[in-house]
Amino acid sequence: MGVSGSAVAAVAAATVLALSVAGCGARTSPTSTAPSAKSTSHSAPASSVQPTDYTRLLIQATDIKAPDEFKAAAPTKNPNGQPGVATTFTTQDGDHLIKDTILVLPDPAAATKALNEAKKQRGNEIKKLSTGSANVGTGGTTLSGNTPDGSKGVLLLLFTQGRAFVTLEFYGPPHTLPPDDFVNDVGGKQQAAIKEGLGG
């Protein structure tokens, strides 16, 4: 009878252990599925905000009227991980190039904020900085001088068009800047292309 009692006790203990494990499994099951549910909810917004192709907003190389012909590089979508597009136009000899970057922000206020931040940041990158205004878009501003190493002259044209913030960078020989009418012409065409593509 003592042996039988031990066996019963062992069976009872095993039953309690099994129920305990099952109970823990039941309690941890929802918790274990929670991370996947969370990851699904986090991934949903990312998948719903798929990168938009903004290459249609860029001007073409043929829009640039200059003595030397410019060629366009392949566009870069979402530069630095931000919604928008960028490209570079270069002359055959490489002496002149134009970097064209368009960032598409949530609204015009965000575009203006990006413009104001760029004025400070980019201004610090130019040697012998000179600032000016441009009759292009909203808040049209020019920053000009030389690159930090003095190897090239640079003029930046910054402006907004609706919720888009545009940076046009004109590079040439040191101490040489592009004519104002040329800068305004390229900037005006870029503004028009954005207005047509985004509206506003």
CATH superfamily, with its number, for domain 55-198: PknH-like extracellular domain (3.40.1000.70)
Mean pLDDT of 98-106: 98
Mean pLDDT of 16-31: 39
User: What's the CA gap between 157 and 184, in Å, rounded?
Assistant: 9
User: What's the CA gap between 98 and 72, in Å, rounded?
Assistant: 9
pLDDT tens per residue, range 47-99:
345 568 999 999 999 999 999 999 999 999 999 999 999 999 999 999 999 99
State whether residue 63 is helix, strand or coil.
Answer: helix
For 26, 34, 88, 122, 165, the CA distances from 31, given in Å and listed in that order, are: 9, 5, 51, 49, 45
For 23, 24, 40, 43, 46, the CA distances from 37, given in Å and listed in that order, are: 22, 20, 5, 10, 15
Instruction: Give one DSSP letter per residue of 70-113, joined into a string.
Output: EEEPPPEESGGGSSEEEEEEEETTSS-EEEEEEEE-SSHHHHHH
Kindly tell me if the per-residue pLDDT of 36 is higher than 90. Answer: no
pLDDT tens per residue, range 180-189:
999 999 999 9
Report the candidate in 107, 106, 108, 88 with the shortest Cα–Cα distance to residue 97: 88
**pLDDT band at residue 23 using 50, 70 and 90 as cut-offs:** very low
pLDDT tens per residue, range 150-169:
999 999 999 999 999 999 99
- Select the more confidently predicted residue: 179 or 23: 179
Report the candidate in 166, 135, 134 with the shortest Cα–Cα distance to residue 54: 166
